[in-house]
Every structure is written in structure tokens, then in C-alpha cells.
Amino acid sequence: MTRHSPTSEAEACAIVAEAAAQRTPLAIQGSGTKRAFGRPPQFELTLSSSQMTKVTLYEPAEFVISAEPGAPLNGIVRLLAEHRQELAFEPLDYRPLLGSDGEPTIGAVAAMNLSGPRRIAGGSARDSALGVRFVNGRGEAIKSGGRVMKNVTGLDLVKLMVGAHGTLGFLTEVTFKVVPSPQRVATLWLVGLSDQTAIAALSAALGSPYDISGAAHLPAKIGDGARTLIRVEGFPDSVEYRLGELRSLLKAFGTAVVLADDTGRDLWGAIRDATVLAEPRDKAIWRISTAPAKGADVAARIARTIDARWFFDWGGGLIWLACSTASAASAATIRAATREAGGHATLVRAPEDVRAAVDVFDPPVEAIARLQTGLKASLDPAGIFNPGRMFPEL
């Protein structure tokens, strides 16, 4: 196995051009923390971002940061915090679930479109991505987007590259919009609600004028009784006011209690990374996205035939689900329930034999599959980047 770790975009171009000429598949790697995610590929050559780690631009007053792909996420988070700023999308960290170590890179965060609880208010990683540079499958350095807040110049390849899991190119620079860190983050919680009622409560909060930045429900099976969590953030006086208004708004659902700020922070961390489902490690983990109002239904349907534990984020629209029977059959059940409600299910964690047999992502309908195959060929004509990682045919 050979590992290439270019130190510049130009070097990366040369490596890719050579691999393309030989039609040698390349595993695109950051720090390897998410090796257990996605379809398991086996490659001779690895193209790693480990030697491209610089922050290339940071203008706090302009709310923009650019970095090479191998820049560790924790370094970026620390740098932003020094200026009381942060990434709006609250990137989730897969290490607790996947049991991996090493430092996640900003390139992998972009490649996987990793977004946490604030997705419902601050958008996804993709929404925050202003620009990318990448090496396409011809070995050419391509740029799309830029560093300004609004940009509709040409086709938006940024959106394609963010979330492509390294199958369309090797990112060499990513630029994100950042936001001021809220001065206070506070959490309300309600206890003892059923899934259906909890999601109704979250929906009432999200449909209120009080700017909710997190809306999750941990059913009793997760432990510690059923807990419904609502997060608000901003200037302290405003947060205090909104907490009060929300408590009266939610009266019908019980007495909402304000959590101590650090207890709240820890809980949101656990929700973001789904650590509450990390153990036992032999369980398969699914991440299901559906319409919030359908969330409780989807989970209940799955539970009819599969022994599962789950919790909700995104106001009910995101279901994290752990089940013991990881098999093609259970995958079919989960996908059928999700599809009927509208949405999709991603297999995040499973034993390798299951990952080899079950599609990690919902297989697309034929017309979309054709477009995806076309897009892959347009960016990576020799099919060398992470083949098979997202879908068997890509």
C-alpha cells in the first residue's frame, strides 16, 4: 500500500494525474477517523491531506475562514473561539460512535457535510461553505465559489463537492462562513413525554418566534426517563426573555425547567455525536432524515419489527437509531418505513460484512442514479476517487 501525502495543490494534481493515467483508484483520506463509515473500500493507493494543514485565511471581521483540507478541526474551533466565533453548523464528531481516534480534519467535515443539532437554525455544513478548491479526476486544480457571503457566479460546484465523500475530487482548500459565538446558550427541558407529544412540543417551539437553535427528544429507553430539550442562544437578556416566553408557551406539555448551562452543553454534545447510542458497540447505527411531523411514526413503525432504541434531533426530523439485528432484512424494513414517510436512512455503523452487503445510503431512483453517474464521470472520468464509497457504482 502506498500513501501519498502532498504538501501542495500542485503536488496533489501531479499525483492524481498519474493515478488517472494508470486508472489506479485512490482512497482519499483525512485523518482516518471515519474509516468505519461508508462502504468499505480496499485500495492500493491512498491520497492523504495530512501534509496540507494550514489555515490560509481568517478574517474575523469578515466572518470567513479558509483552510487546507488536513487542518485539524479542533485547531480551527480553537482559533475561532479566540475571536468568539464558531462554525454555524456545529459539526458532529463520529469518533464516539465509530470508536476511532485521531483528529478529524476540516476537509473530511466538508466531504461528509457533517452537521449537528444547529442544522435546523444555522444550516448544514454545505450552507456554510462559501468556496472550495479541489483537484478533479483530470489532475486539474479547480475552484468554485469564493470567500464572499453571496455568490451566484456560475454553477455551484461547492454544493456538489461538500457531501461527496471524496468521490468527486480531492479538496485542497475549503472556505466557510463563520458566526459570532452566542454569549449565552440555554436549554429548557420537559420530562416524561411520549415521542408523539414531545415532537408536538418541539414543533410548537420551532413554530414560535423565539429562535430555537436545538430541538431534540430522548425517549425513556435512552435512560434517565424521557427528556425533551429546547435550546435558545444569543445575548443574555434576550435568552432570558425567550426562556420565559417558551415556558408559558409549552405549559400544556408540562413544566419546562431551565438546565444549568454546562449540563445543557454536555447534553447537546451527546446529542450531536449520538454518544447516547455508542454502547453497546455491536449494535448497528442508522441516521434517518424525514419530515419532523413524521419522525415519531417512522420510529414506531420500525420498532414494530425490529428491536431498536432511538432518539430525535432536528425537531423530530432526524432519528438516530440503534438496532441489534444488523442485516439486509432489517435494512429493508428501515428503508421502507422511511421512504413511505418521505426521507432517507444512512447506515452509519455496522459490522464489515453487513456494510459490504447493505447500501450505506438509500439507493437513488433510476433518473437520479443516471444524473449521479453522469456527474461522477464529468468530474472523475477515470473513476479513481474513492470508488464504491458512497454507492457501489460510483
Q: Spell out, one character per residue from 71 to 110, where the chain touches ligand FAD: x when CB under 6 A holds, - when not.
A: ----------------------------------x-xx--
# residues near ligand FAD by CB under 6 A = 30
Smallest distance, another protein to C-beta of residue 93, A: 18
Measured from the CB atom, is 69 or 234 closer to another protein? 234
Residue 50 neighbours by CB distance under 10 Å: 18
Does the footprint of ligand FAD cover residue 49 (CB under 6 A)?
Answer: yes
User: Which partner in ligand FAD, another protein, none is near 115 (CB below 5 to 8 A by kind)?
Assistant: another protein
Q: Of the candidates 6, 13, 15, 43, which one interacts with ligand FAD according to CB under 6 A? A: 43
Measured from the CB atom, is 183 or 263 closer to another protein? 183
Question: Which part of the chain contacts ligand FAD (CB under 6 A), choosing from 34-42, 231-239, 288-296, 307-315?
Answer: 34-42
Smallest distance, another protein to C-beta of residue 226, A: 20
Does the footprint of ligand FAD cover residue 197 (CB under 6 A)?
Answer: no
User: Which partner in ligand FAD, another protein, none is near 228 (CB below 5 to 8 A by kind)?
Assistant: none
Give the phi and the psi of residue 38 in degrees, each rounded to 5: 90, 175
d(CA 135, CA 9): 8
Measured from the CB atom, is 104 or 139 closer to another protein? 139
Smallest distance, another protein to C-beta of residue 60, A: 7
Does the footprint of ligand FAD cover residue 389 (CB under 6 A)?
Answer: yes
Question: Which part of the chain contacts ligand FAD (CB under 6 A), choosing from 31-39, 199-207, 222-230, 323-331?
Answer: 31-39
Does the footprint of ligand FAD cover residue 171 (CB under 6 A)?
Answer: yes
Q: Which triple of cell numbers denotes residue 157?
A: 460546484
Instruction: List interacting residues with ligand FAD (CB under 6 A).
Output: 1, 27-36, 38, 40-43, 46, 49, 69, 105, 107-108, 111-112, 165-166, 170-171, 386, 389
